[in-house]
Amino acid sequence: MIDERTGEVSAETRARYEAVIGIECHVELKTVSKMFCGCPNAFGSPPNTNVCPVCLALPGALPVPNAKAIEQIVRAGLAFGSTIPEHAKFDRKNYFYPDMPKNYQISQYDMPLTVGGIVRYWLEDGTRGECRLTRIHLEEDTGKSTHASADGRLAGATSSLVDFNRAGVPLMECVGEPDLRSAEEAVAFLESLARTFRELGVSDVKMEEGSLRCDANVSVRLRGAAEYGTKAEIKNMNSFRSARRAIESEIARQIAVLEGGGRVIQETRGWDEAAGVTHSQRSKEEAHDYRYFPDPDLVPLDSPPAAADAVRATLIETPYERYIRYVDGFGIASKQATQLVDDAALSQWFDRVAAASGQPLAAMHFVLGDLSRLANETGIAISGGKVTPEALAELVELTQNNAINSSAAKKVLEVLWIEGGSAKAIVEREGLAQVSDRAAVAALVAEVLDANPKVVADYRAGKTNVLGFLTGAVMKASRGKANPALTQELLREKLEQK
């Protein structure tokens, strides 16, 4: 049903439909130089200063491919289990646009560098999923245009300004199969791609600098239907958040169209971030007739299996594999595992603590708790600070063996953060070893009870929640060293005997 007032479909109606989503995303590779020339691959330079005859398409200039960019695509593909075909080539994709100086883009059409593969991802609640990749291919980025009117506003712009610094920057295009069923899954898929690319060092994936841009093919169908519905292609989503909102809005729009008796038409729609809706971008029919043909300036690329094997041999654990190890192997909750995985340097550091202490869960609580707090307060990364993984592992063991209590552990950590060194040495120097000696703690308990007759009376009158106050008083009297469990046990014992 459609609400006549708001035009929105009800949750019940929404639930009868299933979305089918396929993502295509473009990621700028992290190289020193551009794809086909020796200009800097740099962001933020003054306009048109990182340009040469090749990337400005001056007559007679010839492109030569960047070996590092080719290797990075192969590396990215292998991380997702893609096949590396033995033969690949570059093609020209012909179209006219002022930010593309050659009037064609060098891309890959029917013989890409990688084919197939699977992107595994997880949702916020820990649910896992996977999406097949069609291919990952290599192409070049276009220049960047901004619109200018006499008064500097976009509305009524009379001309556009073009900067070719970005033209020719190596660009990886990842094409996913339509395996995703919700905006949430689509975002999880993108996050998994981004994490993996960062980990591999093939891209910094800085959304704010436009180094990851994505399009989504969205269609809806009644649950259980075998056929796909007609899809619309959503463009201009420049953050994960806007991708989620854009896809959700498009799913709702298509359901409303179908429920209203209409038909979804195949078209390109642009996401309007401010309005929170997608708009039809009518395109002329020949806009998609690219007349691809092999680029005669570039010779074919051969990749013997041994070359792919050599790259495969250098691959390390992917972020997804690490997440699984943390959750399934260490018993860490999905949210905390994600926090660790999202910071590659931190998770490597954490792995050393986990290995040295043999107590991954306790280590995780220190790393994401007090240590992260200290790092935030001081603006120093944990992995770049004075606390070594070995020192934290020592601290974990001291706590787990009840040699020190948690408030002492906090103190030790604070000293370690400032001075570095060994946890054991600090415990000894500061006299923080936990007092678990019954007689010693009993003496402190007696002292505290004598000093607080009114509180004792309250407890005996049934206000047993004052136990916390009394425990705190004993801890204070012991300068934080008393074993808290033993303290409570002895307090109860004394308070119960009238």
Binding-site ranges for Zn ion (CB under 5 A): 37, 39, 52, 54-55
**Do 65 and 300 form a contact (C-beta atoms < 8 A)?**
no
User: 47, 222 in Cβ contact below 8 A?
Assistant: no
User: 39 or 190, CB closer to Zn ion?
Assistant: 39
Q: Which of 264, 301, 404, 416 binds other proteins (CB under 8 A)?
A: 301
What is the C-alpha to C-alpha distance for residues 454 and 74, in angstroms, rounded to an integer? Answer: 75
Cβ contacts of residue 391 below 8 Å, gap of 6+?
Answer: 416, 420, 421, 422, 423
- Give whichever of 158 and 401 is closer to other proteins, judged by the CB atom: 158
Contact characters 118-157, other proteins, x per CB under 8 A:
---------------------------xxxx--------x
Give the whole-angstrom CA distance, residue 374 versus residue 379.
8
Query: Candidates 74-82, 212-220, 299-307, 416-424 — which segment interacts with other proteins by CB under 8 A?
Result: 299-307
Tokens 């020339």 locate to 37
Task: State which residue, 46 or 224, has the beta carbon closest to other proteins.
Answer: 46
Contact of residue 165 among other proteins, Zn ion, none (CB under 5-8 Å per partner type): none
Q: Which is nearer to other proteins, 53 or 260 (CB)?
A: 53
- Residue 266 near other proteins by CB under 8 A: no
Residue 256's binding partner out of Zn ion, other proteins, none, with CB under 5 to 8 Å set by partner kind = none
Q: Which of Zn ion, other proteins, none has residue 302 at its interface (CB below 5 to 8 Å by kind)? A: other proteins
* Nearest to other proteins of 6, 159 (CB atom): 159
Phi, psi values for residue 456, rounded to 5°: -60, -40
Contact between 225 and 348 under an 8 Å Cβ cutoff? The reply is no
Strand partners, 24: 175, 215
Instruction: Please say which residue, 39 or 136, places its beta carbon nearer to other proteins.
Output: 39
Judged by CB under 8 A, does residue 352 bind other proteins? no
Contacting range for other proteins; rule: CB under 8 A; set: 25-33, 211-219, 329-337, 359-367: 25-33
Please report whether residue 243 would count as binding other proteins according to CB under 8 A: no
Q: Is 36 exposed, middle or buried (0-12, 13-18, 19+ CB in 10 A)?
A: buried
Residue 285 structure tokens: 């029919």
DSSP string for residues in 304-343: -HHHHHHHHTT----HHHHHHIIIIIT---HHHHHHHHT-
DSSP conformational letter for 10: P
The residue count for binding other proteins (CB under 8 A) is 60
- Examine residue 69 and tell whether it contacts other proteins (CB under 8 A): yes
Smallest distance, other proteins to C-beta of residue 249, A: 17
Q: Which residue type does 206 have? A: K
- Residue of 266, 281, 378, 406 that binds other proteins (CB under 8 A): 281
Q: Which stretch binds other proteins (CB under 8 A): 36-44, 211-219, 314-322, 447-455?
A: 36-44
Q: Which of 299, 316, 333, 355 binds other proteins (CB under 8 A)?
A: 299
Among residues 380, 31, 53, the alpha carbon closest in space to that of 211 is found at 31
Rounded Cα distance between 429 and 414, Å, is 14
- CB neighbour list of residue 338: distance below 8 Å, 6 or more residues apart: 122, 124, 323
Distance CA 89, CA 297 (A): 11
Dihedral (Cα; 223, 228, 232, 234), 10-degree rounding: 70
The set of long-range contacts for 60-63, using a CB threshold of 8 Å and a minimum separation of 24, is 61/37, 62/297, 63/35, 63/36, 63/37, 63/106, 63/295, 63/297, 63/298
Q: Identify which range of 257-265, 288-296, 414-422, 443-451 contacts other proteins by CB under 8 A.
A: 288-296
Residue choice 10, 83, 127, 283 for contact with other proteins (CB under 8 A):
283
Mind giving me the DSSP string for 130-144? EEEEEEEEEEE---E
Query: What's the DSSP call for residue 287?
Result: G
Q: Is 85 in the site for other proteins (CB under 8 A)?
A: no
Tell me if 57 contacts other proteins by CB under 8 A. no
DSSP 267-305: EEEEEETTTTEEEE----GGGG----EE-TTS--EE--H
Candidate ranges 19-27, 75-83, 187-195, 275-283; the one touching other proteins (CB under 8 A): 275-283
Binding other proteins (rule: CB under 8 A), the pick from 291, 429, 438, 463 is 291
Report the C-alpha gap between 34 and 67 in whole angstroms: 11
| Position among 13, 16, 24, 47 found at the interface with other proteins (CB under 8 A) | 47
User: Does 201 help bind other proteins (rule: CB under 8 A)?
Assistant: no
The residue range among 134-142, 159-167, 186-194, 440-448 that interacts with other proteins, by the rule CB under 8 A, is: 159-167
CB of 143 to Zn ion, least distance (A): 11
**Least distance between other proteins and beta carbon 253 (Å):** 18
How far is Cα 219 from Cα 191, in angstroms, rounded to an integer?
A: 22
Q: CB nearer to other proteins: give 98 or 305.
A: 98
* 469 near other proteins (CB under 8 A): no
Cα–Cα dist 136/229, whole Å: 25
With CB under 5 to 8 Å by kind, the binding choice for 317 among other proteins, Zn ion, none is: none
Residue ranges in contact with other proteins by CB under 8 A:
31-33, 37-40, 46-54, 56, 64-70, 89, 94, 96-99, 111, 145-148, 157-164, 236, 270, 281-284, 286-287, 289, 291, 294, 296, 298-302
